């Protein structure tokens, strides 16, 4: 049985599936942060994204490699993340679980203007 | 256009060697390219401090909270024990068991973190934080114990021996 992902974990994984940020199709920390903020529609603490990336990597849902950094970042390297098949499966399972949960419910819900 | 030096030092201190350059580089890039131009220097510095505070708290909260809980249990234990047996001397065997339990808890927590993260340095840092938080809360309880029970425990043998040694020392104040 696939592991259930929280909303934040889903946002981070989706940022790696289909990034659409002003930074382009990048999969490093800062770009993921911007993509997650875009998807959730609010400002997000950088620490929350790094903690989630760390956890997802430990679970084998994503992998990472280092790349050279620009002078803008003081020459410090970038860690690029890639989603792994396990991560894709977990995302699929989360989507299917949400679909099952919402099956038969018509939107907008009564009482919501 | 550099972020606050103290915050950057703190950030690099709490990050693991693996993440030190990559995470601080990401924040520096965002600070220079987006935050400073959009919000100005003062607000950008506040933003940077806020991000670092979040990362520091996330890196340290588990061992700190665990340490506070452990210290509260131990501190609560000596308060209850003193309330029940205010004149009983400390038992060497019981104290040894307490110390063994504390050291065991610290070691077990560090080992669990080392096993989970596979990062030895992180486990050591967590163990140190856990120990510091435990001892801080425990000492607060020990001070509270003296303040609350001072009238009763003045009759204890070990208290009278301590006061006797102090009076025999020739010092006239504990500040000496």
The helix (H) or strand (E) run that includes residue A84 is none
Are A22 and A34 in contact by the 8 Å Cβ rule? The answer is yes
Residue A22 located in a structural domain: yes
pLDDT at B47: 95
CA A74 to chain centre: 26
Residue A105 located in a structural domain: no
Minimal Cβ distance to B29: which of A47, A50, A72: A72
Interstrand relation of A78-83 and A62-67 (parallel, antiparallel or unpaired): antiparallel
Count of domains observed in chain A: 1
Minimal Cβ distance to B33: which of A28, A72, A77: A72
Are B31 and B44 in contact by the 8 Å Cβ rule? The answer is yes
Verify whether the Cβ–Cβ distance A66 to B51 is below 8 Å: no
Closest CA of chain B from A89, distance in Å: 23
Question: The tokens of B43 are what?
Answer: 């607000």
Residue B173 located in a structural domain: no
Count of domains observed in chain B: 1
pLDDT at A23: 66
Return d(Cα B88, Cα B79) in angstroms, integer. 13
Minimal Cβ distance to A50: which of B25, B55, B117: B55
Q: Can you list the alpha helix ranges (DSSP code H) found in chain B? A: 5-14, 20-30, 36-39, 41-84, 92-117, 120-153, 157-168
Are B134 and B126 in contact by the 8 Å Cβ rule? The answer is no
Verify whether the Cβ–Cβ distance B28 to A73 is below 8 Å: yes
Verify whether the Cβ–Cβ distance A46 to B27 is below 8 Å: yes
Residue A104 located in a structural domain: no
Contacts of B21 in chain A (CB under 8 A): 69, 76-77
Q: Which domain holds residue B93?
A: 5-168
A60 in helix, strand or coil?
coil
CATH number where A47 lies: 1.10.10.10
pLDDT at A62: 96
Q: Which domain holds residue A19?
A: 7-97
Contacts of B33 in chain A (CB under 8 A): 72
CA-angle at B37, arms to B34 and B42, nearest 5°: 105
Burial class (CB in 10 A: 0-12, 13-18, 19+), B24: buried
Residue A12 located in a structural domain: yes
Residue A41 located in a structural domain: yes
Residue B113 located in a structural domain: yes
Verify whether the Cβ–Cβ distance B29 to A73 is below 8 Å: yes
A-side interface with B, Cβ within 8 Å?
28-30, 33, 45-48, 50-51, 54, 58, 66, 69-70, 72-74, 76-79
| Tokens 């606050």 belong to residue | B4
Residue A108 located in a structural domain: no
Q: What is the pLDDT along chain A (113 residues), one digit of tens a residue?
A: 567 899 999 999 999 997 666 666 678 999 999 999 999 999 999 999 999 999 999 999 999 999 998 999 999 999 999 999 999 999 999 999 999 999 999 888 888 87
Kindly report the backbone phi and psi dihedral angles of residue B57, in degrees, each rounded to the nearest multiple of 5, phi listed first.
-65, -40
Residue B80 located in a structural domain: yes
pLDDT less than 70: residues of chain B: 174-176
Residue A84 located in a structural domain: yes
């Amino acid at each position: 049985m696939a592991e259930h992902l929280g909303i934040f974990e889903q946002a981070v994984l989706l940022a790696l599936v289909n990034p659409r940020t002003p930074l382009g199709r990048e999969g490093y920390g800062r770009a993921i942060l911007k993509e997650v903020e875009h998807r959730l529609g609010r400002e997000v603490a950088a620490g929350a994204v790094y903690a989630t990336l760390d956890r997802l990597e430990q679970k084998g849902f994503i992998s990472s490699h280092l790349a050279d950094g620009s002078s803008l970042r003081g020459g410090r390297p970038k860690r690029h993340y890639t989603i792994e098949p396990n991560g894709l499966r977990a995302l699929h399972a989360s989507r299917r679980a949400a679909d099952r949960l919402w099956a038969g419910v018509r939107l907008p819900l009564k009482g919501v203007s | 256009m550099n972020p606050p030096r103290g915050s950057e030092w703190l950030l690099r201190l709490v990050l693991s060697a693996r993440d030190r350059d990559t995470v601080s580089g990401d924040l520096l890039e965002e600070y220079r390219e987006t935050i400073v131009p959009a919000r100005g220097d003062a607000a950008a510095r506040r933003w940077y401090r806020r991000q670092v505070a979040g990362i520091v708290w996330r890196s340290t909260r588990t061992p700190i909270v665990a340490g506070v809980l452990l210290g509260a249990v131990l501190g609560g234990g000596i308060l209850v024990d003193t309330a029940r047996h205010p004149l009983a001397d400390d038992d060497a065997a019981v104290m040894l068991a307490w110390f063994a339990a504390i050291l065991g808890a610290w070691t077990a927590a560090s080992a669990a973190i080392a096993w989970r993260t596979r990062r030895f340095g992180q486990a050591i840092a967590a163990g140190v934080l856990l120990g510091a938080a435990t001892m801080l809360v425990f000492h607060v309880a020990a001070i509270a114990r003296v303040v609350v029970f001072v009238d009763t425990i003045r009759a204890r043998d070990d208290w009278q021996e301590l006061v006797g040694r102090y009076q025999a020392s020739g010092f006239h104040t504990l500040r000496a």
